[in-house]
Amino acid sequence: MLLLRRHRPFVSPLAAFFGGQGPVDVGEGERSGQTWLCITYLDHAGSALFPESLLKAFTDDLRNNVYGNPHSQNISSKLTYDTIEHVRYRILQHFHTTAEDYTIIFTSGCTAALKLIAESFPWIPEGTKQPSSRFCYLTDSHTSVVGMRGITASMNVLSVPIEPKEILLAKSRLPAEEQNCTTPHLFSYPAQSNFSGTKYPLSWIQDIKSGKLCPIKIPGKWFVLLDAASYVSSSPLDLGVHQADFIPISFYKIFGFPTGLGALLVNNRIAPLLRKTYFGGGTAAAYLAGEDFYFPRKSIAERFEDGTVSFLDIIALKHGFDVLEKLTGGMEKIKQHTFALAHYTYTVLSNLKYANGAPVVRIYSDTDFSNPDVQGPIINFNVLDENGEVLGFSQVDSMASLHNIHVRTGCFCNTGACQMHLGISNEDIQKNLQAGHVCGDNIDLIDGRPTGSVRISFGYMSTFEDAQTFLNFIIATRLSKSDAGIPCQSVTEPMTESVPDDHLSFNSADKLSQMLQISDGELRNIPSEADTTGRWQPLEPEAESIRAAVSETAVPTCRKGGKPITIARIYLYPIKSCSAFEVTEWPVGNQGLLYDRNWMVVNQNGVCMTQKQEPRLCLVNPSIDLKHKIMVIQAEGMDPISVPLEDNTGKKAVICESKVCSHRVKTYDCGERIAGWLSTFLGRPCRLIRQSSDVESKSHQKNTKGMLFLQHKHLVLKEPLEIEELIRRFRANIVINAPESFEEEEWVEISIGALQFQVVGPCSRCQIICIDQQSGERNKEILQSLSAARGRKTNFGIYLMNQPLHSSFSDTLSVGSQVLPVLKENTEIQPPTSREEKCSG
């Protein structure tokens, strides 16, 4: 087994790698946010991290200057215009070229730049007297490049995908008479694969433009689009030598800030050929509103930059370049620094073995990480078990999050490379879609085969400690003390049901009722928890008739000597991700358990907070008092506080839309008093919001998804936990006594009294189960142990959807009620296909 030891400054090992030249070290002060949060950030290919000094320089600039709209003629606007022009020159200088050769067109990002190229390239469509154009692209390309074919198709221009091996074989020149053809063709390829980090030869640019390389054998003149977004984040690009015709980039890949700003560098030799139909503000030299007359501005940049550019973000770029040079010494040093980290990590990863000699990871790479000119600082891999089976990337991501390690998973918007490296066929992609898998979701294995992988990437802010932390994480989670097995814990009893906290029973509302005011002094006289349930009583005549009808059609599934399945406990979670409230019976309506997950805590930006971001939420204890119509919230060291159960928005209420688990819901703020209480306890600004009460505005939201899971005797844990602790961690609504382990995975639907639930699919557990619900501390072993127990899966339970009966009453769930599962032959239960069904927080 390969062991790692902590080094002091990482200058020593990396300096040795480069013959004594020290690596980049930006200093702890520049990484203050990352250091304070104890995060190991390994997604620099997704976005760089900005240094503190960049923000300071930018905000100081804004405080000391007034920047107006650059289209105006006043003094502040002239300052803006001149500064933007200075930034254009600075960008050209960074890429070792001048305004004589290239023009900078600011865009919203690399994707917008690619779209601009597709729309304005001088294509010759099929069906004309001239030979038609072709758009060719390397299959190892970003989605935004492949998506250009949608525009070319609308222009009747054919697109041709080219595999990397094909371009290497395309070295024969066209006959001389065909080389004189002027039909324009466009070939696009990435300077660096965002999937594997492979660097494709920049020499292809001149070879293709000169005719030495032909992507396809067709008469015409080839132009080259070099997708440099991934490459320029960690490597120098010299456009004085490698003169591509189009170079799209995104600046957040380089600096981390600003976001939403990119540029298209256009070779001035092709710029006059570009076509443009739409004209926006600032692009016209003259036009008529009443007649079809328009004359564009002479400047290519002004002609293509529709409307007012994002001028403050552009000004921030100046400080980005200044700080980057000051902290690192330039892109060549960044290239060497980031590659050294990748080389070291690759070397260790590729040598990790299980006791039986099987590799711990499978690395997807076209190189051996021996040369920074052909390999970037990206490592793409999947983790394997000792039998060589792939562990799902979602599980690896969850475990990494427990160690505060941030990675990227999936196919990284590069389906072509993903297919090539993982052996996924075109038919597999279509079958996976039919199975519910879409780009960016958490479905990582289908029929035991991976749908994606894990990617780590380094940037100039990365340190040797980052690499070591990641490697120690892999070793700790895969190469434990013994590969022989983990001591078994016997868990024999209950089974539970819950609505996952990441899926609030929120629904839209327009009408809000008055809030009931009760002072905090009254809280001390409130009855105990068992009394506060209010003993809800349904309308008996109607209830009994429906119960009888349901009981006649549902047949109990009895096993193990005919023992019935019964409800052992009932829990609800009034505030998402906060503590459970146990009851012996509780009303159920169309939305599930009454008041379950009706409230949630949000940060200062209005974004929902869960235990994943703030584990101390589990120490907030809400309880519902139906008699007094209040929710009482308690926490250690804090005086109790109450929130009315009745809506109290009135005319002054602000209804806002919030996003919970990809669903848009209407909510309202619960006021300054509870906001201050929560902010004090959690030590960060936050507020309490509640779903508005109008449930009729969107009828399709009336069914609430829940979750049912068993406490199985076969659950394996390194550190045995009591049944009570397991129940708290898995955050269920209903705990059920059942005779057999995992039998719920064969259920199609269940009935409990007059209530019916449809089984939606298995519950794949996230890292919240690793949080001790009584202390807020994390135990990183729980999720890994669950995976080992379930054979590389983290499924534990099933999701249910309430099927409300067409009646006017609300039924109840009670401890002791019988559960009647229904089995169907040859019926597959599909897994959840969206992220909101992933977490029980």
DSSP 262: E
Whether the bond between 131 and the residue before it is cis, its omega within 30 degrees of 0, is no
Angle between helices 464-478 and 331-351 (to 10 degrees): 20
Instruction: Tokens for 680, please give them.
Output: 């004090």
End-to-end, the C-alpha distance of the chain in Å comes to 36
Angle between helices 393-402 and 464-478 (to 10 degrees): 120
| Token pair 């256009």: residue | 266
How big is the chain, counted in residues? 841
Q: Which of 413, 670, 766, 839 is catalytic?
A: 413
* Amino acid in position 131: P
Task: Read off φ and ψ for residue 323, nearest 5 degrees.
Answer: -65, -40
CA dihedral angle for residue 692, residue 697, residue 699, residue 703, rounded to 10 degrees:
0
Residues whose CB is less than 8 angstroms from the CB of residue 778 and which lie 6 or more positions away in sequence, other chains included: 402, 615, 767, 770, 771, 772
Place of tokens 């009294």: 753
Residues 6+ apart with CB under 8 A from 255: 48, 50, 54, 317, 320, 323, 324
The phi and psi torsions of 602 (rounded to 5 degrees) equal -125, 155
Residue 731 near residue 763, CB atoms below 8 Å:
no
* Cβ neighbours of residue 54 closer than 8 Å, sequence gap 6 or more: 255, 256, 257, 316, 319, 320, 323
Angle at 321 between CA 318 and CA 322, to 5 degrees: 85
Cβ atoms 760, 705 nearer than 8 A = yes
Closest CA to 159 of 179, 145, 172, 180: 145
Number of Cβ within a 10 Å radius of residue 56: 12
SS (H, E, C) 505-522: CCCCCCCCCCCCCCCHHH
For residues 600 and 658, what is the distance between their CA atoms, to the nearest angstrom?
10
Consecutive H or E run containing 135:
strand 134-138
Q: Catalytic residue at 661?
A: no
- Beta pairing class for 705-710 and 795-802: antiparallel
Nearest to 655 by CA among 676, 670, 639: 670
Burial 424-453, CB ≥16 within 10 A → b, else e = beeebbeebeeeebeeebbbbbbeeebbbb
For every residue of 736-758, DSSP letters joined together read EE-SSTTGGGGEEEEEETTEEEE
Residue 608 and residue 665 in contact, taking contact as beta carbons nearer than 8 Å: no
Closest CA to 182 of 136, 234, 218, 140: 218
| Of residues 643, 611, 609, 638, the one with CA closest to residue 625 | 643
DSSP string over 620-688: -EEEEETTTTEEEEE-TTS--EEEESS---TTT--EEEEEETTEEEEEEE--HHHHHHHHHHHTS-EEE
DSSP string, 525-587: GPPPTTTTT------HHHHHHHHHHHHHH-----BTTTBPEEEEEEEE-SBTTS--EEESEEE
Active site positions, annotated:
413
